[in-house]
Amino acid sequence: MKTISRRGLVAVATALGLSLGASAHAADIDSIHFLIPGGAGGGWDGTARGTGEALTKAGIVGQASYENMSGGGGGKAIAHLIEIADTADDTLMVNSTPIVIRSLQKVFPQSFRDLTPVAGTIGDYAALVVGKDSQVQDFAALAEAFKSDPTKVSIGGGSVAGSMDHIVAALIMKSAGGKPTDVKYVPYDAGGKAMAGLLSGEIMALSTGFGEAIDLAKQDQVRILCVTAPKRLDIAADVPTCGEAGAEGAEFVNWRGFFGPPGLSAEKRQAYQAAFAKMYDTPEWEAVRTRNGWVDIYNPGDDFTAFLEKQEQEIGGLMKELGFL
């Protein structure tokens, strides 16, 4: 069956006096190929496909394609992007906080410095939650119990010891005046299992992403003790920040953003940044963002690099204190 090119389709539509909407106008960027370091259905996959959806539907990008490349804790995709750098100026790799953590842990030899940081685009703050029927009414009560006898305060997470959930719990307790090494962390191999452990009473509290926490709070399954944001979030104005609750300085965001290959030209990087900035003001992005419960944290270029360097220093210091480095 013969296919008609995009150029031919536009020509036909013009001849017939038809409108193709935003797609009939020249896009700011012809195409983006999104490289995803994990499998379908995960957070990286959802971020790349949701971003591509908004960019193309808004007419900012002509077309988007996607490639899932699991392996090596994300290291396989990083190595691939470096290898094809000379011919990959149309490729953006999605990533998040684990690129910092796993680089520190030497899961793979590269770091964000081996790529071209383009922009951080969305984030998910962390939260500490308890079951709706828990006797722990607020964070102050949890912190008091922890400082009194940390062996009786078990905090779970949906990942292994030394991972993001563990680090966040340690950061919050340290900021509240406790010893981060005293955190009795109980690892689960998935968020759903960790939540089951909380609701069954296996653990006293759960360290998790705020997006997941707010959904469960709306279902009246949990009570959120605090969120690691610098200020209260509009979506949950009654939830205090961890700083307000007594853990001053306990701020953390699991950012997600995009990296180009090493050697990406300044012109192309700026074009990507301009496209992301423009995307935020579109109804197409708002629909995607709202559907996924994402928080906008646009952080382009050198600001993104500075943020990554600061996070690496903070997380690295805490991981050393906990004995994971």
Over residues 29-38, the pLDDT tens digits come to 999 999 999 9
pTM of the shown model: 0.79
Confidence (pLDDT) at 22: 43
Q: Taking 80 as the threshold, does the pLDDT of residue 18 lie above it? A: no
Give residue 66's pLDDT band: very low, low, confident or very high (50, 70, 90).
Answer: very high
State the average pLDDT for the chain: 89
Q: Among residues 13, 258, 15, 222, which one has the least CA distance to residue 127?
A: 222
In this predicted structure, which of 87-91, 181-185, 204-208, 321-325 has the lowest mean pLDDT? 321-325
* Residue position matching structure tokens 């944001």: 229
Give residue 1's pLDDT band: very low, low, confident or very high (50, 70, 90).
Answer: very low
The DSSP letter of residue 229 is: S
In this predicted structure, which of 4-8, 70-74, 141-145, 166-170 has the lowest mean pLDDT? 4-8
What token pair was written down for 70? 């699991």
Render the burial of 55-77: b for 16+ CB within 10 Å, e for the rest: bbbbbbbbebeeebbeeebbbeb
Q: Taking 70 as the threshold, does the pLDDT of residue 103 lie above it? A: yes
Q: Among residues 289, 4, 325, 324, which one has the least CA distance to residue 162?
A: 324
CA distance 29 to 269: 11
Helices (H), the chain: 6-15, 43-57, 75-83, 98-104, 139-148, 164-175, 191-200, 210-218, 242-245, 266-279, 283-292, 301-322
Confidence (pLDDT) at 2: 35
Geometric angle at alpha carbon 212, from 209 and 216, rounded to 5°: 135
Give residue 155's pLDDT band: very low, low, confident or very high (50, 70, 90).
Answer: very high
Q: Taking 70 as the threshold, does the pLDDT of residue 252 lie above it? A: yes
Residue type, 211: G
What token pair was written down for 66? 């996607």
End-to-end CA distance of the chain: 59
Geometric angle at alpha carbon 277, from 273 and 280, rounded to 5°: 145
Give residue 113's pLDDT band: very low, low, confident or very high (50, 70, 90).
Answer: very high
Give the mean model confidence (pLDDT) for residues 303-316: 94
- CB under 8 Å, gap of 24 or more: what pairs does 231-237 form? 233/125, 233/295, 235/293, 236/210
Phi/psi zone of residue 162: left (φ > 0), alpha (ψ -120 to 50 degrees), beta?
left
Confidence (pLDDT) at 5: 37
For 109, the 3-state DSSP assignment is coil
Confidence (pLDDT) at 25: 60
β-strands 205-209, 29-36 pairing: unpaired
Give the mean model confidence (pLDDT) for residues 15-25: 42
Which DSSP string corresponds to 82-93? HHTGGG-TTEEE
Q: How far lies 220's CA from each of 60, 148, 169, in Å?
A: 40, 29, 23
Nearest-10 Cα torsion for 312, 317, 323, 325: 40
Q: Taking 60 as the threshold, does the pLDDT of residue 17 lie above it? A: no
Confidence (pLDDT) at 163: 86
Higher-scoring residue by pLDDT: 124, 184: 184
